[in-house]
A and B are shown apart, each in its own frame.
Chain A
Amino acid sequence: MYGNAYIEPDSELAAKMAASREEDPEKLAEFEARIARGEKIEPDDWMPAEYRRQLLRMIEQHAHSEIIGALPEGTWITRAPTLRRKLALIAKVQDEVGHGHLLYSAAETLGKSREAMINDLISGKSKYSNIFNYPAKTWADIAVIGFLVDAGAIVNQLANAKGSYGPYCRALERICYEESFHLKQGYDAFVALAVGTPVQREMLQDALNRWWFPPMMHFFGPPDTISVHTEKLMRWKVKMASNEEMRQDFIEQYVPKIWELGMTLPDPALRKDEATGVWEYTQPDWDEFFRVINGDGLCNKERLAVRRYAEENGRWVREALMNPIQKRMVPYA
């Protein structure tokens, strides 16, 4: 799934330092020309420090989102109501962990190790998609996540797959294939509940209400302010679409699918302006968005605690792989 649609900006100081670094104008011009021609930048190619920094942050946050995103859905594997759904859910969550694996590898090509990235995740220094700081309370949440969160991720990742950094684009292409399958299984589970018993419909409606406001409406991040910085990221094909463009694309594709099943969304203002083709909606509380990113969401502590638990419990395994006994048994003379 789990594209990290919104990339949290770096600290002001770090951003200023990287941005103010003077690059060789000739190399920079050549670099920009290559991107303009649609060429991909590869790990050994010259790149501006600012480009490397932004990409690393983006890919790293995306990777974290995948492995943290495995947690809310993962807890429902053992409770899935049929054997078929159980198999599909294990396979899906497994894919997400696999995406994390793939993305950490892509990020490593920019010069940071997987261990360092995971340490920054569990210490709270690196962020991940805010959406996973909300709880998956019932089975219907699994249907809503599989359908809508994966759909949102696809919108974001299809855009990013056209970006300029080769390893990230190739990872995203494969990820998008798998995501579109996740979307199908999510939609299938969603429809089963929507056309099911009154109890099932009620579960689904409740889950939709909770996931629409605020998580889904926050998913793509606040409307961008157009700055020189954003323009540069778009010129370098690091950022491929504005947050609002992606949100509109998502609403346009998926809101009709929800409505046609007779389900509702908790926003009375949600409607398409037929004249302009633009969807109108109630702005979510963006203060809450920033509060949750900074650690004050319903599940931030739990998610990191679980991840930390997994890292700590797995440490002896990793050490054993690095440090075989035989090595220390080699005689001195």
Chain B
Amino acid sequence: MNNAIKDLLFRLADDELVLGHRNSEWTGLGPILEEDIAFSSIAQDQIGHAVANYTLLHESAAADEPLPDAIAFGRNEKQFFSSQFTELPIGDYAFSLIRHFLFDHAEMLRYELLTASSFAPLAALARKIKGELKYHVLHADLWVSKLGQGTEESRARMQTALNEAWPYALGMFEPSDYEAELVTNGIFSGEEGLQESWLEVVAPIIEKAGLTIPQASEPKYGGRHGYHTEHLQPLLDEMTEVYRLDPAAIW
């Protein structure tokens, strides 16, 4: 498989696995039972998307890449290409919610673009995933609006979360080394255009919720090239704790 596609699949899958891991941490601890259940669902979808992308990686590049579990559990932080946004701790519910909102809108648009990918298996997968993301976005929009316009405290928490999240959210659109190749070959139309359409979608919702997009933010790049915050390796250590007891065993 060519390296450009491989890189793209790693980025897609790692984002979903790492954020799915974070969102699953809410299970049992949500602010109300309904949201506890919602975050569990979102986490399941995301880990499911990661599995699908790792499977594509494995099947379309059988000689190189092992089975999905080994890809997921057998790498260190330097070998992960998720954006730093996904690895940040869950924080308070406002932070997790804002991240869910900003991330899932980007995912929705990203997979929409991928439905037109010249790499046919990915285009087919994107059509399937897009259907699930629709519900993530509906959920996120509703709650951003509710909590943005709830109480003074909820608005303040949401604004703080947005301020913290924003530079990392911009980091989701860190260009890959293969950007030109992906565009030329019609595999993926590129991060720059995606970021623009994302901003067009999220900005009015944020404004309507009574929140303000922070000005002059430097995007937090690095994740797409294996450079991470101090939060990723501990996350991976926890995720692989049982697997590492015996990676050859069947669990």
Residues of chain A whose beta carbon lies under 8 Å from any beta carbon of chain B? 67, 70-71, 74, 77-87, 90-91, 93-94, 97-98, 100-101, 104, 139, 189, 192-193, 196-197, 199-200, 306, 309-310, 313-321, 323-326
Contacts and interface: CB of A to CB of B under 8 A. Distances in A.
Given A306-B29, A326-B149, A91 B249 contact: no
A326 B210 CA distance: 11
Given A316-B154, A316-B157, A323-B151, A90 B44 contact: yes
Interface stretch (B19-27, B121-129, B168-176): B19-27
B35 A81 contact: no
B36 to A, nearest CB: 5
A197 B249 contact: yes
A93 B249 contact: no
B28 A70 contact: yes
Interface string B143-174: 00011011111110100000000000000000
Given A90-B40, A98-B37, A313-B93, A197 B69 contact: no
Contact of A317 (B35, B54, B68, B242): B35
From B43, B73, B157, name the one whose CB has the most chain A CB atoms within 10 angstroms: B43
A192 B250 contact: yes
A128 B69 CA distance: 37
Contacts of A104: 33
A101 B147 contact: no
Contact of A87 (B44, B157, B246): B44
Interface residues of B, number: 50
A97 B149 CA distance: 28
Nearest to B235: A78
Contact of A90 (B33, B35, B43, B51): B43
Contacts of B72: 83
Contacts of B32: 314, 317-318, 321
A87 B72 CA distance: 13
A101 B34 contact: yes
Contacts of A78: 21, 24-25, 238-239
7 contacts: A79-B242, A81-B251, A86-B24, A192-B251, A200-B249, A319-B151, A324-B151
